Amino acid sequence: MRLQISLRGMSGRDVIPINYNYPISAWIYRLLSDASPEYAAFLHNQGYIGADGKTRKLFTFSRLHIRPPARRLGDRLIVDSIHEITLMLSSPMIQDFIQNIVIGLFKDQVLELGNDAKLAVQSVEVCPMPVLSSPLKCKSLSPIVVSTPIERNGKLGKHYLRPDEQNLSEAIQNSLVKKHQTAHRASPDDTAFKFEPDWDYIKRRGGPEKTMTLVRLKEGHRDYTGVKGFLIPFTLTGSIELMRTAWECGIGDQTSMGFGCIDVISDNKGSSKNLTRDR
């Protein structure tokens, strides 16, 4: 299931840090804690255990969609009262994650991003599941991060894959199969799957490296880290089950930190359902 959260600045001139993934993730856990401290602690400290023994959070969220586009000033975005801001939040875990998020949103209606941005929740809507078919044209709503371990100077690090790397599609497929197994306690009936980047778009951007973006997590903290992902249109073919998992859980790594959120470019979506009155 997917929620669309509409936000608006509260001060008339709010200054949003460009690297806002971590504070949004922290806000999500605060919403969960407002509804169920036990569930929030479970998800934060552990998560859902898959058949492979690894734990997964099984949610993702988009970048902030700001219209008209916000003015950028260094590493900040300037928004005022005319800007409409939306955030997409998705998970297949309806009875615990989605339900608790909605309860939390009725209790905590302000998203604080740094010291100079307070965004008020205006409304919450349930987005209809898009019509899924193969092939399916999609776009990334937040950077897609896929990494593999690599040794540098005797230390184990991460190599972040670009759209042109040969093992990208297989890595995404394997990850989605494991997410499906974790969410549904069963393997998908069909595991055939392919991720095909939009090469015309990549060429127009100047090549695969130009589609990559660096996101800084916990900037200013001792455990600060930088994460690289790409923002491109692409086509999915194969398993409809894995396409749904991609839409609900996100594609790639660190989806609970706001990476890998996707949407269908063209489909027959129905009308959304408003859960709150506009404020």
Position 116 scores a pLDDT of 83
Q: Using one digit for the tens of pLDDT, what is the confidence trace for 60-106?
A: 999 999 999 999 999 999 999 899 999 999 999 999 999 999 999 99
* Structure confidence at residue 278 (pLDDT): 44
Helix (H) or strand (E) holding 27: helix 21-35
The structural architecture, per CATH, of the domain 136-264 is 2-Layer Sandwich (3.30)
Domains of the chain by residue range: 2-129+269-274, 136-264
For 65, phi then psi, to 5°, come to -100, 115
Considering Cα of 241, then 182, then 146, then 91, what sign does the dihedral take? Answer: positive
Q: CA distances (Å), 270 to each of 126, 130, 140, in order?
A: 11, 8, 21
21-35 and 37-45 helices, crossing angle to 10°: 140
- % of the chain beyond a pLDDT of 90: 84
pLDDT for residue 271 is more than 80: no
Which pTM does this prediction carry? 0.92
Decide: residue 98, CB within 10 A, 0-12 exposed, 13-18 middle, 19+ buried: buried
Q: What is the pLDDT of residue 277?
A: 43
- For residue 142, the model assigns a pLDDT of 98
pLDDT at 272: 57
pLDDT in tens, 113-153: 988 899 999 999 999 999 999 999 999 999 999 999 888 88
Residue that has been written with the tokens 């709010």 in this structure:
14
**CATH number for the domain formed by residue range(s) 2-129+269-274:** 3.30.70.1890
Residues in the chain: 279
Which positions ≥6 away from 48 have C-beta within 8 Å? Answer: 55, 56, 57, 58, 93, 182, 183
Q: Output the pLDDT for position 273.
A: 65
Output the pLDDT for position 67. Answer: 95
Q: How many CA atoms lie within 13 A of 269 on its CB side?
A: 14
Three-class SS state of 134: coil
Domains 2-129+269-274 and 136-264 share a fold: yes
Check residue 276 and give its pLDDT: 56
Note the pLDDT of residue 92.
97
Q: How far apart are CA 240 and CA 263, in angstroms?
A: 14
Give the integer Cα–Cα distance in Å for 255 and 234. 18
The tens digit of pLDDT for each residue in 233-254 reads 999 999 999 999 999 999 999 9
